[in-house]
A and B are shown apart, each in its own frame.
Chain A
Amino acid sequence: MASFEPRIVAFLCNWCSYTGADLAGTSRKKYNANVVAIRVMCSGRVDPEFVFRAFEKGADGVLICGCHPGDCHYIDGNHKTAGRYPMVRNMLEQFGIDPKRFRLEWVSASEGDRYAQVVNETIETVRALGPLEWPKRLNESDTASPA
């Protein structure tokens, strides 16, 4: 198989992780270009359906980054994200998606290095898992189901 380039969607909270991702840029830390970030005000805004939507539209992996526990700009939004995380992993597993494709990490506004590292690690993990091709599999299951 030719080198597989996974596609990762990252949801970043505005205050810590998006700022941290910007800092990675300001300090010219290089990371793989296969990740594209979506800015939300708090990681708590990430509806589990966003994760499913991303896989449904062809993402090979999804990353959520928020403030470290205790550092949330909105007191404890990140704790609520952490609370939802096991549920989302379970659901992905039930869908037949390896939960390793979905990752939650804490990245502070001063952790540009760490953001670059998390992104690269995530991409390598997903690359090792191979393409998900969830849209194709959804189509196949649709056509295979009895009318």
Chain B
Amino acid sequence: MSKPRVGVFVCHCGSNIGSIVDVPAVAAFATGLDNVVYAQEHKYMCSDPGQEMIRDAIKEHQLNRVVVASCSPLMHEPTFRKTCDEAGLNGYLFQMANLREQVSWVTEDKAAATEKAKVVVRAAVQRVADHTELHTTTKPCTPATLVIGGGVAGIEAALQLASSDTKVHLVEREPSIGGAMAKFDKTFPTLDCAACILTPKMVQAYTHPNITVHAYSEVVDLSGYVGNFQAKIHHKASYVNNEKCTGCGACLQKCPVKRVPHEWEQNLMNRRAIYTPFAQAVPNKPVIDAQHCTMLLKGKCGICAKVCEAGAIEYDQAPEGTYETIDIGNVIVATGMKTFDPTPMKALGYGRIPDVYTALEFERMCHASGPTEGHVVKKTNGVLTHGGAAPKAVALVHCVGSRDKNYNEHCSRVCCMYSLKYAHLIKEHVPGCEVYDFYIDMRCAGKGYEEFYNRLLREDVRFIRGKVAEVNNWAIYPEEEGRLVVRVEDTLVGTTRRIPVDMVVLATGLEPAEGAKALAQTLHMSCSNDGFYLERHPKLAPVSTATEGIFVAGCCQSPKDIPDSVAQGAAAAAQAIAMIKRGTVEIEPTTAHVLEELCSGCQICIPLCPYDAISRDEERRLAVIEPAKCKGCGTCVGACPSSALQQWGFDDKQIYAEIDGILANA
């Protein structure tokens, strides 16, 4: 290759870089570096005129290498590679120097920042001289998408995909799709019945010819690469043959094991050992809980098999379930959230005082098919039944486990609104009931939300600004006898208060779903500090992840309400569809390769490869790398004692040049 002719383009990024780093000085410094034939600065290098300047300079000065010193390569490397390509220069003969995220934004001292910027530019200039032309490869994209999680976000994504004629595998770990929304009674601020708007979508998804619903199943492994993933799905043993089961429900009536806590009903009532989580379950196929079924535990009973006219009960299913591997092009993760368990907040009395409920427990109490058939009532001898006494006063406690450094720092975004909804529902279910709403700040940001709050202000709800200190059942005054007492500092009045009530509802916040971390590891995704999945960019790529071909939607990314979850489900589907419609995916060329003349055939590299991409050519006694399997981590390269393995774009020479560039005047 001819002698390097490097062009260096230093960006001010408005004032982001320019206010800290002396950009003209850096450009002047670059002019004096070896191989640099042209250096220029620009206010916004990524803008059209900025890119035009690069393209013109490549042609005018016959540049064969380009360094852009601007933001992070994670931000604009693809942009400037494309700029180079457009000017006829291979995009890999380009290197980016990160002056923004790793210099100007993290350095206070201007002189130190400018010096560091020069060092970073010099390292990039030295490195780029050793760059070679590389070319992405194009692979076909499997026209199918895996959607993990059958809540409203996942269902929306699946339906959008299916309507574009894309095959969808919708995997749900519970026996029914529907997710958290299926448990809700009404939805704020419109007070739509949740089931009325969700169940049609559930049925539509289940019956759509392009969607395969894998209920009671989990994704246990993902291999391959963008466009060509293989997912391993674990179908848990349900002991019911879904092909034969007609969903008649005879088994549900006759099962004699009646005292199993009903998890889906927040353990407020019991279910049988064979069950569907709720009446409108989709698919409407029961599962047998092997932990409680006496037939499976002791070999005695068999009643469900006797009453099943379809002969769908299969006690002999393998308890470990079955596994299936599917081919997909991309993945949408929509695994939702779980609600905060307030048991550790002892002062609030949950688990100790019978009529203190979590939000989801109260939601089920309001629901016509819940434990009290929709009656808002107190427990009778510790048990919740529809015949219980109605409360005369109810307290709603905001921010339980949210905005609290002892538990979760984040705001769960939905609790203010659902508490307002509860205030309305209590007034509707128990006319004349006093409702006290204890809030820190009322956060009603959403279409129609503030208006809903204003409506509640007129519905005779007592709003008290203050974080509840304690809920107890120790009466001091006669009116507190036999009731619960909420102790709070009323910060608007500036006094502490004791308010007697009969029931307390804790507005429990949202947390990452059970198993979120394990799934992140299975899919090689990252989590934010709060445990929710990390998006590629918080503003501009909110449903993408760092892993090409894996998207996120709904509450698994952060707490959000139903409209936002649905919007993200559709957004993720649009990205998945775009990839599939294009039909191909571009694979980065930064894979490992073997310099055969240096390879001694020692085989150190072979067990290091996590993808089995390296084998040994026994005849020639050499390592051989299968490029299609290599994902370009470079672990084998870092370990090769003969430097016989190299990684395109990250070879030893290039990294040495970068090290030397950093330390050039040390």
Which residues of A are interface residues toward B (Cβ below 8 A)? 7, 9, 14-16, 18-19, 21-22, 24-26, 28-31, 33, 36-42, 44-50, 53-54, 57-59, 67, 70-77, 80, 84, 108-111, 116, 135
Candidates B107, B635, B663; contact of A42 at CB < 8 Å: B635
Residue interface mask B538-562, A partner, CB < 8 A = 1: 0000000011000000000000000
Candidates A19, A29, A31, A75; contact of B524 at CB < 8 Å: A75
Closest B residue to A14 using CB positions = B74
Measured CA separation A29–B105 after assembly (Å): 7
- B659–A74 CB distance below 8 A: no
* 22 sampled A-B residue pairs with Cβ under 8 A: A15-B546, A25-B100, A25-B101, A25-B106, A33-B106, A33-B109, A37-B98, A38-B658, A40-B650, A42-B635, A44-B608, A45-B634, A45-B635, A45-B647, A53-B656, A53-B660, A58-B666, A67-B526, A73-B633, A74-B524, A80-B608, A80-B638
- B74–A22 CB distance below 8 A: yes
Measured CA separation A39–B74 after assembly (Å): 11
- A38–B666 CB distance below 8 A: no
Closest B residue to A54 using CB positions = B659
Q: Which of B610-666 contact A (CB under 8 A)?
A: 610, 631-635, 637-639, 647, 650, 652, 655-656, 658-660, 662-663, 666
Q: Which of B104-126 contact A (CB under 8 A)?
A: 104-109, 112-113, 115-116, 119-120, 123
Number of A-B residue pairs, CB cutoff 8 Å, is: 156
- Which of B273-281, B316-324, B359-367, B527-535 sits within the interface? B527-535
Residues of A within 8 A of B583 (CB): none
B525 to chain A, nearest CB (A): 9
B47 within 8 A of A: no
A61 to chain B, nearest CB (A): 12
Residues of A within 8 A of B101 (CB): 21-22, 24-26
- A41–B650 CB distance below 8 A: yes
- A74–B631 CB distance below 8 A: yes
Residues of A within 8 A of B98 (CB): 22, 37
Measured CA separation A53–B662 after assembly (Å): 12
B564 to chain A, nearest CB (A): 21
Measured CA separation A109–B528 after assembly (Å): 7
Residue interface mask B498-538, A partner, CB < 8 A = 1: 00000000000000000000001100101111000010000
B72 within 8 A of A: yes
Q: A9-B659, A59-B666 are in contact. Are A71 and B521 (CB under 8 A)?
A: yes
B102 within 8 A of A: yes
- A9–B663 CB distance below 8 A: yes
A136 to chain B, nearest CB (A): 10
B282 to chain A, nearest CB (A): 35
Q: A24-B106, A25-B106 are in contact. Are A71 and B526 (CB under 8 A)?
A: yes
Measured CA separation A76–B633 after assembly (Å): 10
- B106–A7 CB distance below 8 A: no
- B610–A75 CB distance below 8 A: yes
Residues of A within 8 A of B660 (CB): 53, 57
Residue interface mask B585-625, A partner, CB < 8 A = 1: 00000100000000000000000101000000000000000
B247 within 8 A of A: no
- B634–A73 CB distance below 8 A: no
B249 within 8 A of A: no
Residues of B within 8 A of A14 (CB): 74
Candidates B74, B115, B526, B639; contact of A33 at CB < 8 Å: B115
B73 within 8 A of A: yes
- A36–B546 CB distance below 8 A: no
| CB-based closest 9 A-B pairs | A58-B666, A45-B634, A44-B635, A25-B101, A25-B105, A74-B633, A42-B633, A75-B610, A57-B663
- A116–B106 CB distance below 8 A: yes
Closest A residue to B530 using CB positions = A110
Q: A38-B658, A41-B590 are in contact. Are A16 and B663 (CB under 8 A)?
A: no
- B662–A38 CB distance below 8 A: yes
Residues of A within 8 A of B666 (CB): 7, 57-59, 135
Interface size on B, residues (CB 8 A): 54
Closest B residue to A13 using CB positions = B633
Residues of A within 8 A of B655 (CB): 38, 40, 47, 50
- A40–B105 CB distance below 8 A: no
- B74–A19 CB distance below 8 A: yes
Q: A40-B650, A50-B659 are in contact. Are A15 and B526 (CB under 8 A)?
A: yes
Closest B residue to A39 using CB positions = B73
Residues of A within 8 A of B659 (CB): 9, 38, 50, 53-54, 57, 59
- B529–A111 CB distance below 8 A: yes
Closest A residue to B520 using CB positions = A71
Residues of A within 8 A of B104 (CB): 25
Measured CA separation A21–B102 after assembly (Å): 7
A142 to chain B, nearest CB (A): 18
Measured CA separation A44–B101 after assembly (Å): 24
- B631–A110 CB distance below 8 A: no
- A80–B635 CB distance below 8 A: yes
Q: A22-B72, A40-B650, A42-B634 are in contact. List 11 more A-B contacts (CB 8 A).
A: A16-B526, A24-B106, A44-B634, A47-B655, A59-B659, A74-B631, A74-B635, A75-B524, A108-B527, A109-B546, A110-B528
Residues of B within 8 A of A29 (CB): 106
Measured CA separation A5–B100 after assembly (Å): 22
Residues of A within 8 A of B105 (CB): 24-26, 28
Measured CA separation A71–B527 after assembly (Å): 9
Residues of A within 8 A of B632 (CB): 41
- A73–B119 CB distance below 8 A: no
Residues of A within 8 A of B634 (CB): 40-42, 44-45
Measured CA separation A36–B510 after assembly (Å): 39
Residues of A within 8 A of B109 (CB): 33
Residue interface mask B212-232, A partner, CB < 8 A = 1: 000000000000000000000
- B106–A47 CB distance below 8 A: no
Interface hub of A9, A39, A49 (most chain B Cβ within 10 A): A39
Closest A residue to B652 using CB positions = A47
- A108–B123 CB distance below 8 A: no
Q: A9-B663, A71-B520, A110-B529 are in contact. Are A77 and B106 (CB under 8 A)?
A: no
Measured CA separation A42–B101 after assembly (Å): 20
A34 to chain B, nearest CB (A): 8
Candidates A19, A57, A58, A74; contact of B610 at CB < 8 Å: A74
Measured CA separation A40–B105 after assembly (Å): 22
Measured CA separation A7–B661 after assembly (Å): 13
B56 to chain A, nearest CB (A): 29
Closest B residue to A45 using CB positions = B634
Interface hub of A21, A45, A49, A58 (most chain B Cβ within 10 A): A45
A68 to chain B, nearest CB (A): 10
Closest A residue to B531 using CB positions = A110
B621 to chain A, nearest CB (A): 23
- B662–A70 CB distance below 8 A: no
Residues of A within 8 A of B647 (CB): 41, 45
